[in-house]
């Protein structure tokens, strides 16, 4: 049965990678994206690469959010984006990664390498994730069918 409240909302996949068992970040991202007007499929923690690729290929999401808290985001992200981009149905699906991308502090080189590997955006640890993700989502409005635009996020200033 289709829920009329979500039938017209674009879908976003939220996930961690196989090595990351954290969940609070996924709940935060799900709530944020739902507030922005998306239907969210939260794959949970410790997601095997093949499961992520298969679910994304089946769902054809508006975009994919990969979250890392354990500090292996850079290393695991390079592997994951390679697998996503190698699937013929996911070559142009927008994919972002954010969180703790390394264990030795911020590195602009890491972010550049992740973008070069195929991520559309990289959110580093010190960025406000709500604002960064809302801006990214707003930039994708052209990928959403007319009349199905997500709502803007209203934050207190």
- Give the tens place of pLDDT for each residue, 3-52: 555 457 899 999 999 999 999 999 999 999 999 899 999 999 999 999 99
Region 78-93: what's the mean pLDDT? Answer: 97
Contact 17, 47 (CB under 8 A): yes
Token representation of residue 27 = 């709940």
Residues in the chain: 157
- Give the tens place of pLDDT for each residue, 64-82: 999 999 988 999 999 999 9
Residue 15 pairs in a beta bridge with 66
E-only strand ranges, the chain? 11-15, 39-42, 63-68, 95-99, 121-124
Contact 97, 68 (CB under 8 A): yes
Instruction: Name the percent of the chain lying above pLDDT 70.
Output: 83
Give the whole-angstrom CA distance, residue 89 versus residue 91: 6
């Amino acid at each position: 049965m289709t829920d009329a409240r979500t039938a017209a909302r674009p879908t976003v996949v939220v996930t961690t990678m196989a090595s990351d068992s954290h969940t609070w970040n996924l709940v935060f991202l799900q709530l944020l994206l739902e507030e922005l007007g998306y239907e969210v499929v939260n794959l949970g923690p410790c997601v095997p690469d093949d499961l992520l690729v298969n679910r994304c290929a089946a769902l054809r999401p508006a975009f994919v959010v990969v979250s890392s808290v354990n500090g292996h985001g850079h290393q695991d992200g390079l592997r994951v984006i390679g697998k996503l981009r190698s699937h013929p149905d996911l070559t142009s699906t927008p994919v972002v990664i954010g969180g703790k991308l390394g264990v030795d502090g911020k590195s602009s080189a890491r972010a550049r390498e992740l973008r070069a590997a195929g991520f559309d955006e990289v959110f580093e640890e010190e960025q406000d994730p709500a604002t960064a993700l809302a801006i990214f989502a707003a930039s994708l409005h052209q990928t959403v069918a007319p009349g199905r635009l997500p709502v803007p996020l209203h934050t207190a200033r």
